[in-house]
């Protein structure tokens, strides 16, 4: 019988040195991706940015803005070739823990109605739609609305 070691999966803080890897993922999975400037500004502003690495390879990341008792998930992405393997759930779960540990009671996010995979993930985690931002996202034929969702973090263990 041969022993197979599971790959090492780590959630680590993201810094400026990770931006090229993030951009490579971002540009493949989003029709209107964040720019280098968006990532640099987020990190410079002190937003909480985390990457999921599997044996050193960046497979996903998230960027959170945390203020007082609320957090806003600004970006969450998983590499195209790693989607459907549970990494989105791992990154989202980590983001929720980080937000809760920082004192946030609610986690907010926006999502495209056309992003079925993301919607399914958020609903599976108990996010509830509370509104719509009309024309929020850029789209190939103009704009697309954003569904505003929130999650009560009170039950998330810190």
Query: Stretch 58-64: mean pLDDT, rounded?
Result: 98
Supply the CATH classification number for the domain 9-155: 3.40.630.30
The mean pLDDT value for 128-153 works out to 95
Instruction: Give the pLDDT of residue 8.
Output: 84
What is the predicted pLDDT for the residue at 111?
97
Taking 90 as the threshold, does the pLDDT of residue 4 lie above it? no
Could you tell me if 110 and 72 are in contact, meaning their C-beta atoms sit under 8 angstroms apart? no
Mean pLDDT of the residues in the chain? 93
The residues spanned by each domain of the chain are: 9-155
Q: Which pLDDT score, from 0 to 100, does residue 9 have?
A: 85
Query: Region 89-116: what's the mean pLDDT?
Result: 96
Helix (H, G, I), strand (E, B) or coil at 126: coil
36-60 confidence digits (pLDDT tens): 999 999 999 999 999 999 999 999 9
Active site (catalytic) residues: 110, 122
71-94 exposure pattern, b = at least 16 Cβ within 10 A, e = fewer: bbbbbbbbbeebeeeebbebbbeb
Between CA 70 and CA 39 the distance in angstroms is: 21
Measure CA 157 to chain center.
19
Tally of residues, the chain: 158
Residue 156's pLDDT band (cuts 50, 70, 90) = low
pTM: 0.91
Q: Which range among 3-7, 101-105, 107-111, 134-138 shows the weakest confidence by mean pLDDT?
A: 3-7
With a cut of 90, say whether residue 107 has pLDDT above it: yes
Q: Find the helix packing angle between 19-29 and 36-44, rounded to 10°.
A: 130
């Amino acid at each position: 019988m041969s022993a197979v070691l599971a790959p090492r999966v780590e959630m680590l803080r993201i810094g400026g040195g990770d931006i090229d890897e993030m951009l490579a993922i971002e540009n493949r999975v989003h029709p209107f991706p964040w720019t280098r400037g968006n990532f640099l500004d987020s990190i410079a502003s002190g937003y909480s940015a985390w990457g999921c690495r599997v044996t050193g390879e960046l497979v996903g990341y998230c960027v959170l803005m945390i203020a007082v008792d609320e957090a806003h998930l600004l970006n969450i992405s998983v590499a195209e070739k790693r989607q459907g393997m549970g990494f989105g759930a791992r990154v989202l779960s980590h983001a929720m823990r980080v937000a809760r540990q920082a004192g946030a009671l609610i986690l907010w996010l926006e999502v495209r109605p056309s992003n079925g995979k993301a919607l399914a993930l958020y609903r599976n985690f108990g996010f509830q739609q509370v509104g719509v931002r009309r024309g929020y996202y850029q789209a190939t034929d103009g704009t697309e609305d954003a569904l505003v969702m929130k999650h009560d973090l009170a039950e998330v263990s810190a």
